Amino acid sequence: MSPADTIAQPALWPLSLIVFLPALVAAVMALPVIPKAREELIRWITLATTIAVFVLSLWMAWPTLFGAVGPAQFTVGEAGMQAVVKRPWIPAFNIDYLLGVDGISMPLVVLTTFLSVLACGASWPITKHVKAYHVLFLLLETGMLGVFVSLDFFLFYVFWEVMLLPMYFLIGIWGGPRREYAAIKFFLYTLFGSVLMLLAILMLYFTSDLRSLSPEQLVASHVVSPALDAAGQADAVAVIRSAKGPIHTFNLLALAQLGQLPNSPFAAVNLWGMSLETWAFLLLLIGFVIKVPVVPVHTWLPDAHVEAPTPISMILAGVLLKLGGYGILRICYPICPGAGLSLAWLVCGLGVVSMVYGAFAALAQKDFKRMVAYSSVSHMGYVMLGLGVWSATAGNEFRWDAWAQGVNGAMFQMLAHGISSAGMFFMVGVLYDRVHHRNLEECGGIFNRMPVYSGLAVALFFAGLGLPGLCGFIGEVLVTLSSWNYSRVLAVISAFTVILTAAYILWAIQRVYLGGEYKGPHGDHLTPITGRELAIATPLVFLAILFGVAPQLIFNYVTPSVNRQVETLADWTRDIGGKPPQPVAGGPVPAEVTGVR
Amino acid sequence: MDLATQLPQLLGIAWLLPLASFVLILFFGPKMGPHGRNAAWVATAAIVTSLVLSLVAFVSWLGAHPVTAVHHGGDHGAAHASDHAAAGHSDAGDHGEASGHGGAAASHNDQGVHAPVAYSGDWYTLYEGGRLKLSIGWYVDSLTILMFVLVTFIATCIHVYASGYMHDELHDVTDHEVTLADGHHLHRAGRFPRFFQALSLFCFSMMGILIAGNLAMVFIFWELVGICSWFLIGFYYERKSASTAANKAFIVNRVGDFGMLIGLMALWGALGTLHFADAKVVGADGQTATVPGLFSLVRPAESGHALRVPDGMVKFAAADKVARTPVAEVAGKIEAWRAEGLGDWLLFIAGVGIFCGCVGKSAQFPLSVWLPDAMEGPTPVSALVHSATMVAAGVYLVGRFFPVLSPDVLLVIAYTGAITLFIAATIALVANDIKRVLAYSTVSQLGYMMLALGVGGWVAGLFHLVTHAFFKSLLFLCSGSVIHACHTNDMRKMGGLAKVMPYTAGTMLVGCLAIIGAGIPFVIGLSGYYSKDSILAQALSFSQANPQHAILFYAVAGGAFLTAFYMFRLWFMTFAGKARDHHVHEHAHESPQVMVMPLLVLAVLAVVAGWTLPGGFGIANLLEQSRPAGTVETTTGGFAFGQTLTIPAEYLSHGEPFHATATWTAFATALGGVLLAAAMYVWRVISPAAVAMIFRPVYTLLANRWYFDELYHALFVVPAHGLAATASGIDQGLIDPFLNGLAWVTRLVAGVDSWIDRTLVDGLVNATAAATWSAGTRLKVLQTGSLRQYVAFIAIGTVALFVIASLFFRASLAG
């Protein structure tokens, strides 16, 4: 049908393998090929798979490491989508198997594959239903990676759901005493969000019409493959533009182009007093902020973390939370800019509330892991704030750089938090494996008992504290500095959080690691850190320092893509005069929209 | 090699060497000789090399910019606009050299007021986006170099001293202050290398602040210094008091950093730069453009370096008006908006915000509570971190940032300093812990420096910073020597130690004389004599120019009296008279040579550091070279407190009538304080106990340190924990019950639904029940079956989802 089928797509296999290799291995393992009893073999197979995927993603993301740069690999410093793979998937609904990476998703993909390797290593102590655990673990990896590379909204949603189920079982079966409660809570929260997201997806789909896009926009959004020659492109464009009825699309890039049109079809539709764009933004936002999570929809997180086994906590904090931030950045803002502009206060406000509330709540916790979980709420608040600081207004002549700084900071914070929080959860797990409790009041003196472990743990906690020279600092300071141009009040409150963060982290360190003697049970089990644990903790500490000292390593990837998006949106703000477009009262409502129940 | 290339290289290496030492000791410390003994050598070698490099930089600087006496246009008091060029007047060739090197330096202007010579540039970038750039760079002027020499020199003394002082850590240690659950004292391995590791990291961080070319970098190292101090205060981390003091120090400092962040935001948000100096950037078109730094934004050369609100701040404050103005007309209206006062507050907030950071770091009121507790750390730490370097960083930053501070901010600084110096001095009057007396004395002296800067005494404040660093580290090391000998901090158990510890007693006497500013009026004196006199003179000059603020002068004069009293109370209680506790006295002994040597060296410097050699070479004149542009002459301004403030030119205070009055005041107050101390503690004509009885309420207030700790506990700590419990309680008592209730309602509805199904549907469709049952059983297998089946189903299902969808696509393609 489509000439795109015949075009060479060099990234097809590498990118597909990155996403699907874990699932394929999981499917094979699920068959009774490998006996359940061969637990060690299963662990090694899983580890080998995660390592293979990690190497593959590194091969893509960092071509120079492997010598020659191939066409499927990532060009650092380029802003646009790269390694785009497009195959028609369900043509009846214009659904494509559309994958691609840019500076925003590439680092997150590598973070995911990297943390999967470490989490797999951290899964060694798991002895219950080993095979099932690893199958689900690999499926989870496919789901996460799929979300990051999908450029088709439907595909995105499928992967989003694929991720949900394994997580539910991983918490519900391998978790702590209250695992079932935690798992169902996680499941219901996320499912609620996904349902709303699905609603928004359908709204956008049925309102979209590719015919409104110019030929350049069609090419830029890969609706018409840029790899075609001029004649081929013209043909494909002509097919679209001459269609009788509207051509709907799930293509995220095309939806973004539509959303940023001066007469955006999403902004024009009035639905119960608000534009469809606003509805879609809000529905999507709810779905995403549940994942982030922000206050007040965060209560699944402490329970999930406390009950989840250590490696799952690492994945949960390290990767899953980032999906929310990624979704807001990739989907909410580009597709619904008008709503983004008028609701920026909501995004920022939720972020700041989470920062402060999470920090206060962390201060009150007696359970070590719960404390770390609340610190995640607080730290992810920075991400929300950074994404939301839409400071390009008429008052500052629509300057985009302050906002771009916030978004870059938010991206950095996501990656840094991926490292520091995964590390913190792992460190809590190491202690728990020995003494089988997490009560902050019944610890102390660990430094003298396990010096190497404690040194590494304190380094990771300092990264969480936002100490300069470690990865937590850069994101926090960029976000905080950028928020001033958006709102002075929010900026001051966000700056205030640095005090609380110092308080809860230092207090926890004092109670657990410092002091003369260990005060809890099982003191004789406080054996030095093992080689396996060291192999997991050391890379995390190393990266925490590396990214803290040389943040450019990340910004080289992130900044071009982020800046382009923000600059585009700032220009868009200027073009509309700084005021979000209002829906036309009594304007045309497509039959499909009103038909959506 | 020219200076612009050479200085950053020299100082950069000097800065990084301690970092290398830190890394080496971190990984190999315990393997360095028996019990890591050689770690001390590694750290000392690093800091000595840094000192040498700093000295080389110093000499190079002097070669290019010789220090000469500053001329104030002949007759004092007369305002000369043309002839008061303070600094950077060496040779024009240098300016070209400096500015040619990516870094900016001096620029001349028509009025003959020179900007000081400084070299600046960037090493590398942390973040860059649009016009915004955060980087690691340098800003080197005579102040930077002087501080480098000072810090590395004192750090060297302290490294040497500590290698003797910390020798207990070379063996297993029994910590008598930690009692375990079984009633025994804690027995632990020694941590000798760990101490030097932290000391090295501290030196690295401290020099990072000094060399920083922009405020972001200052902030980075500001925090790092904080965490180093956390390590050092909490060195005996088994002691609850030590780890609590470490946490307190860091958290209180973060309160200051909160304000500093606001200041940074105000600058960054409106101006888009945190660089001190102008920077040359090469644009995409190959053209070199100058990006103005903070100093020239606030004090542009074209206005004769007079302070004015920068355009960026005016526009930021006038955002509403900018939004209503066509883009082309904005530039033309800025002047009018500035005249309306738009942006004044922003500049004020920026200045006060940055000063908040300094309040935390330099333990000023109201954030002074952490410093006395920080004495939990080993004494060399107190000497290095809490007297000469880290706490001085706040004063240094005020000095560095001085050009951006508006008169209103200076007034805030002056009053903060005055309150601090008074409160801390009064607490020191009654403290009995020898280190705590010195700690409060430090707080008080830092208040002096802040006050000096606040009343316009830029050189006076920084001069005192330098002299104080020498005599206060000397005093701390002496106290360490005493504690080392007596194994107690309590002065009430000392007395008569002069006989057994002559070197310590002698050098400490020098330190005490230096801090009270002893000297023969108008002839010669110890280092403190010069710096304290210049502060007094400037405060007097300020008070005369602004009579409503005369109290600032009285605070300085009163503080001088208190200082003299409590310092000599300390000396008399410790060294004079008879031994009060014979047990302590019998064990007392002079410290080993490795500890005495640094005392002697520092004592010599405490005497001579203030001197000006014939020809003009001296610290004050060296500092004059870096005096911020636009602060040579008397300036006026101010809006925030509804009054116009006059910041008198500093050279005025060197003349009459201020100089003589100040000198006599200093002499009289110091003498009075010493005599009173002698009367109470040597001649015993006045009984201290009786005085305490008479002034019972005052004594109680001071002995309890004005109840600051209790007040803060009630005002901040308790509410914070309350809010924390509330937040946690909302989660568990409100949100979750709501959700659980929702779930319960859902289940209830489902139950009703299923009851209807069971009674109605089952009753009606009896015939199909069997079929339903069997289908249900089959589904039940799926639901409650083994986990493996579940997982296999999900795994295969996921893959199948994609396969089937693809097949569907093929089918539809075929169709």
Burial status of residue A191 (CB atoms within 10 A of its CB: 0-12, 13-18, 19 or more): middle
Nearest chain B residue (CA) to A471: B126
A241 touches chain B (CB under 8 A): no
Q: Tell me which residues of chain A have a pLDDT lower than 70.
A: 1-7, 583-597
If DSSP codes are grouped into helix, strand and coil, which group holds residue B126? strand
Please choose, from the candidates A415, A546, A549, the residue with its C-alpha nearest in 3D space to the C-alpha of residue A103: A415
**Radius of gyration, alpha carbons of chain B:** 33
pLDDT (0 to 100) of residue A73: 86
Percent of chain B at pLDDT exceeding 70: 87
Q: Do A361 and B795 touch (CB under 8 A)?
A: no
A485 touches chain B (CB under 8 A): yes
Q: Which two tokens stand for residue A56?
A: 């593959």
In tens, the pLDDT along B457-499 reads: 999 999 999 999 999 999 999 998 998 888 888 888 888 888 8
Per-chain mean pLDDT for chain B: 84
Reported for B509-513, long-range contacts at CB under 8 A and 24+ positions apart, including other chains, are B509/B571, B509/B575, B510/B471, B510/B474, B510/B603, B510/B606, B510/B607, B511/B471, B511/B472, B511/B474, B511/B475, B511/B478, B511/B602, B511/B603, B511/B606, B512/B475, B512/B567, B512/B568, B512/B570, B512/B571
Averaged pLDDT for residues B320-331: 85
Looking at the partner chain, which of A299, A396, A578 has a beta carbon nearest the beta carbon of B736? A299
pLDDT band, residue B81 (cuts 50/70/90): very low
Among A360, A371, A504, A569, which would you mutate to test the B interface (most chain B Cβ atoms within 10 Å of its Cβ)? A360
pLDDT band, residue B92 (cuts 50/70/90): very low
Please choose, from the candidates A407, A317, A319, the residue with its C-alpha nearest in 3D space to the C-alpha of residue A370: A317
pLDDT band, residue B795 (cuts 50/70/90): low
In tens, the pLDDT along B541-596 reads: 999 898 889 999 999 999 999 999 999 999 999 888 888 888 877 888 888 888 89
pLDDT band, residue B350 (cuts 50/70/90): very high
Reported for B676-685, long-range contacts at CB under 8 A and 24+ positions apart, including other chains, are B676/B565, B677/B564, B677/B565, B677/B566, B677/B567, B677/B568, B677/B569, B677/B572, B678/B568, B678/B572, B680/B569, B681/B568, B681/B569, B681/B572, B681/B573, B681/B576, B681/B577, B682/B572, B682/B576, B682/B577
pLDDT (0 to 100) of residue B552: 93
Looking at the partner chain, which of B315, B319, B724 has a beta carbon nearest the beta carbon of A364? B724
pLDDT (0 to 100) of residue A542: 96
DSSP codes, A19-74: HHHHHHHHHHHHTTTS-TT-HHHHHHHHHHHHHHHHHHHHHHH-GGGGSSPPTTS-
Among B127, B174, B225, B803, which would you mutate to test the A interface (most chain A Cβ atoms within 10 Å of its Cβ)? B127
Find residue B128's DSSP bridge partners.
B133
Q: How far apart are CA B368 and CA B386, in angstroms?
A: 12
Residues of A in contact with B809 (CB under 8 A): 88-91
CA-based angle B605:B610:B614, to the nearest 5? 110
Q: How far is CA B805 from its chain centroid? A: 63
Q: How far apart are CA A370 and CA A375, in angstroms?
A: 9
pLDDT (0 to 100) of residue B129: 85
Q: Which two tokens stand for residue A511?
A: 């109670």
Size of interface A-B (CB pairs under 8 A): 224
Residues of B in contact with A27 (CB under 8 A): 795-796, 798-799
In tens, the pLDDT along B732-781 reads: 888 888 888 887 887 788 778 777 766 766 665 555 555 545 555 554 44
Pairing of strands A95-101, A270-271: unpaired
Output A96 or B798, whichever has higher pLDDT.
A96
Q: Do A361 and B736 touch (CB under 8 A)?
A: no
> What ipTM score was computed for the predicted complex, to two decimals?
0.92
In tens, the pLDDT along A41-72 reads: 999 999 999 999 999 999 999 888 887 777 88
pLDDT (0 to 100) of residue B802: 63
pTM: 0.90
Surface of A (329-388) touching B: CB under 8 A: 357, 360-365
Closest Cα of chain A to B309: distance in Å? 17
Q: How far apart are CA B420 and CA B479, in angstroms?
A: 23
pLDDT band, residue B130 (cuts 50/70/90): confident
A86 touches chain B (CB under 8 A): no
Nearest chain A residue (CA) to B217: A468
pLDDT (0 to 100) of residue A271: 78
pLDDT (0 to 100) of residue B216: 93
Q: Do A129 and B787 touch (CB under 8 A)?
A: yes
